[in-house]
Amino acid sequence: MPIATPKQYEAMLDAAQAGSYAYPAINITSLATINGALKAFAQQKSDGIIQVSTGGGQFASGLGVNDMVLGSIVLAEACHRLAERYDVLIALHTDHCQPGKVDSFLRPLIAETARRRENGQENLFQSHMLDASELPLKENLDLSKDLLKECAANEIILEIEAGVVGGEEDGIDNHDAPAEKLYTTPEDMVAVYEALDGLGRYMFAATFGNVHGSYKPGHVKLRPEILKQGQEAVMGKYGKEAEFDLVFHGGSGTPMEQLRETLAYGVVKMNIDTDTQYAFTRPVVDHIMKNYDGVLKIDGEIGNK
């Protein structure tokens, strides 16, 4: 079916919040990974989210072009065409965009959706992420407010982040982030609500010790109760309608009981990238290791592709 409309996407998130479940948000970089994600959603009979990072967009544009906006548009347009062949509802999202790339990545993509809407077409992307967690909270929220207004004018949902997700993703390395930055406080969550309420629909990537990448058990100290405490602080002051739509980043290796616990605290979107990268590369490595002599074509012999 066609990619979700803005209203359908909002209904998806509302249903997840009401039903205490979250949508997988799978990063893609190519036609092969788009097809893999769509097939997986269809096999599981699950609606979901497909997302593109700045690096993924850059890669998709071709190494001779390196244009993250062009590549993201190409990937999104491919998703629009291919999703029509599947009986699941898919929304499109862009992943972490730091402040230094707002004018060269986010705003051009918002402008592309605005252009499409003027021509009677549906939105290119249904949501975008601003990751301004590197900034002091007030500066983060000032930029978030500006972008949320721009997104809302085009029925786009904005995902924001306060606190830092540790580890490394898409070239952004937060391995050395101070421990206290890995945990969003209830006061931070109240400040986010007070700054953004009424400006448009948004999702919030609050941090609770989560780390990008794959780590040995016990290395990552998750504290899901931080999400509960933050939600309680906001709803205690502003009522049930103030409950956040939360996003879980850096979930690789998380015990299932902790994953389920976050659902009870308002997580409606769970990002998946590291695990699918391994799912993509491991069969390739396995084939090469098992057929090493054959994959190198020798003159006069038939190679094993």
* Paired tokens of 264: 């009870």
d(CA 80, CA 133): 31
φ and ψ at residue 304, rounded to 5 degrees: -105, 100
Q: Is 170 helix (H, G, I), strand (E, B) or coil?
A: coil
Describe the crossing of helices 186-196 and 137-152 by its angle, rounded to 10 degrees: 40
Is 176 catalytic? The answer is no
Given a contact cutoff of 8 angstroms between Cβ atoms, the answer to whether 26 and 50 are in contact is yes
Catalytic residue among 95, 131, 188, 273: 95
Name 167's bridge partners. Answer: 212
Which helix (H) or strand (E) segment is 133 a member of?
none
CA atoms within 13 A on the CB side of 31: 5
Strand-pair category, 166-169 with 172-173: antiparallel
Categorise residue 200: left if φ over 0, alpha if ψ from -120 to 50, beta otherwise: left
Supply the residues annotated as catalytic.
95
